[in-house]
Amino acid sequence: MKNLSNKIIIFFIFFFQNIGFSHELWLEPKKFNLLLNQKLEAHIKVGQNLNGDNFPYIGAETSKLNLFLNKTKIQLKHRDGDYPAIQVNVNKKGTYILTYESTPEILKYENFEKFTLFLQEQGLWNKRIFIPSNDIIESYTRFAKSIIQVGDSYGTDFKSDLLFELVAQDPVKNFRTRSNILVKLFYDNQPYQNSQISIFRLHQDKLDIYKAITNNRGEAEIPTKEGGIFLLSSVYLSNIVQNKTESKWKSLWASLTFEIK
């Protein structure tokens, strides 16, 4: 038990020292397509461009971790140190939706230039709003989803209980037959318009990166021709006017992963 506790502490320190300097957190199942009664194993990953490190389950830093089938929540059993972080046997066919929400964390940028690079990369830069300062402190929360298919009974993605969330609008069965699929971005249960979605696609060991912008209905078309593993990511940023902590900014990160074979 002592060795396990030490490993958890090491993971904990490494994870939260590096998460602020990495761009993405996402859920990555070992297999996105499973047979009935196979074990679903998924990692919490942190990194860039669909390349990252795997981290264990840490309860103190997890606000929500849920698995759904047909919008019905499945009770997950996990312990600190579980690696992979998510492990559950699936005994019904269908489309499973795995969701994760982190607890808020604080990041202090070294200088305004690094903050500017972050804003530009996420399509958030606006000189009229962002006044240069070397005292940039941000509170950030991560919201991650993954679509997992079990057997040949297909369902759909849906809006769960995440504050900032990407939702695939097309039936999962149609993913393979369309050149584009429609996704919708929600903030506080409302469509979130004019927001950049970063699209990372890994296909035959080649990474493609695209950008899309949500329309006034919060929707964007995602190119999916030829398939592959997909990571979609979007960032919400707001200035904190009244705050009991030292943070001046709040960011919310939404990610969605799935595979099209």
Spans of all domains in the chain: 2-260
Q: pTM higher than 0.75, yes or no?
A: yes
The Cα–Cα gap between 183 and 195 comes to 12
Q: Which two tokens stand for residue 48?
A: 């860039």
* Nearest one of 57, 69, 117 to 93, comparing CA atoms: 69
Name beta bridge partners: 184.
Answer: 167, 219
Question: Is the per-residue pLDDT at 141 higher than 50?
Answer: yes
What mean pLDDT is reported for the chain?
A: 90
61-102 pLDDT, tens digit each: 999 999 999 999 998 999 999 999 999 999 999 999 999 999
Helix or strand (DSSP H, E) at 3: helix 2-18
Q: Which residues of 159-170 are buried (b: 16+ CB within 10 A; e: fewer)?
A: ebebebbbbbeb
**What local confidence, expressed as pLDDT, does residue 212 receive?**
98
Residue 135 has pLDDT above 90, yes or no: no
**Count of CA atoms in the C-beta half-sphere (13 A) of 125:** 13
Confidence of residue 239 (pLDDT cuts 50, 70, 90): confident
Q: What is the rounded distance in angstroms from the CA atom of residue 207 to the CA atom of residue 50?
A: 8
Length, in residues, of the chain: 261
